[in-house]
Amino acid sequence: MSSLGSSLLATALTKNHSLHLIDLQHNRIGSDGILPWLGRMLRTNGTLCELKLTHNAIGDRKASELLAALAPPPTTEAEQIKRSMARRRTEAIASFSSKPAVAMKLQSTHEESFNTVLTTLLLGNTGISDEAASQLGSVLRGNTTLTYLDIASNNFTTSGHIMIAAGLSQNTCLRYLNYNDNRMEQSAGITLVLALKTHPRIETALFQDCWSGALIGMRLAELLKETTTFQTIDLVVLVVKWKNLVDITNVSCCAVEPLSFATTWVH
């Protein structure tokens, strides 16, 4: 899809009030071909619930633009105070203004709109890395509608995995997470497992070919022992020591049913 094609699509989407799903998977969309519609469209479109972009070389810059439309970035205490003061000034001006339209315009300069309807986002194999991981963490932390997220087969480093885990630890709405084929150091894996352990709603987590290490097995055993939400966890190609394999299989027999525990053990 060329930049012209995506531009025309953007124009159509800003005017469309009935479309619920866009599937653009495997379309060879590159970082230029996605310009300029993703973020702008998501901020204004109020009906789109599912956006599928898997297997397109979008890259960090455009993925971050998209993700920035789904939740506000984290702010420091000083920034929060500044925004609060700006909001109060706007409200004071609006209360004395005889032109409501002018008052609304003033308010919109201080408060950006964010998408509050998207529930499904597929970004598997889109060439994103730590730059987009930072924004992913913000989305997981601040978005309250996204329930299905696919970020499989991307290029995160330990730093990126930890940023995603930090957002996941504060998320309250996600139910399905596809993290397949994102290999990581044991420290990053443990951070993600701990985030899953405290998540109040997640039901399905796919981590094929992601984790290895003795401590991972121990943390997974703790997760399965305590979870009350998981129905499916996929750990194909998990590399652990025999002792930790025994720990997990013993616990999984007592885990909340139904629990599909698809695993291939290498030891």
> What pLDDT does residue 145 have?
95
Give CA angle at 249 (243, 253), nearest 5°. 150
* pLDDT block averages, 10 residues each, the chain of length 267: 71 81 86 69 86 93 91 65 68 62 44 85 97 95 96 97 96 97 95 95 94 84 87 76 52 44 48
Which of 111, 130, 164 lies at the terminal end of a domain, its last residue? 111
> What pLDDT does residue 46 have?
85
> What pLDDT does residue 181 have?
96
100 and 182 share one domain: no
157 and 255 share one domain: yes
196 and 249 share one domain: yes
68 and 195 share one domain: yes
The predicted model scores a pTM of: 0.79
Supply the CATH number for residue 218's domain.
3.80.10.10
167 and 65 share one domain: yes
> What pLDDT does residue 112 have?
66
Which of 57, 92, 111 lies at the terminal end of a domain, its last residue? 111
Q: How many domains does the chain have?
A: 2
Residue for token pair 């399965």 = 224
26 and 155 share one domain: yes
Which of 88, 111, 134 lies at the terminal end of a domain, its last residue? 111
186 and 107 share one domain: no
> What pLDDT does residue 103 have?
45
> What pLDDT does residue 5 have?
73
> What pLDDT does residue 73 have?
67
Residues 6+ apart with CB under 8 A from 50: 20, 21, 22, 23, 118, 119, 120
| Among candidate residues 178, 118, 190, the one with its CA nearest the CA of residue 154 | 178
> What pLDDT does residue 267 have?
47
Residue for token pair 């987009």 = 132
| Among candidate residues 167, 128, 185, 184, the one with its CA nearest the CA of residue 151 | 128
> What pLDDT does residue 31 have?
72
> What pLDDT does residue 25 have?
92
The domain in which residue 128 lies consists of 3-75+117-266
> What pLDDT does residue 27 have?
83
To which H or E segment does residue 121 belong? strand 120-122
The total of other beta-carbon atoms located within 10 Å of residue 10's CB is: 20
155 and 194 share one domain: yes
> What pLDDT does residue 208 have?
92
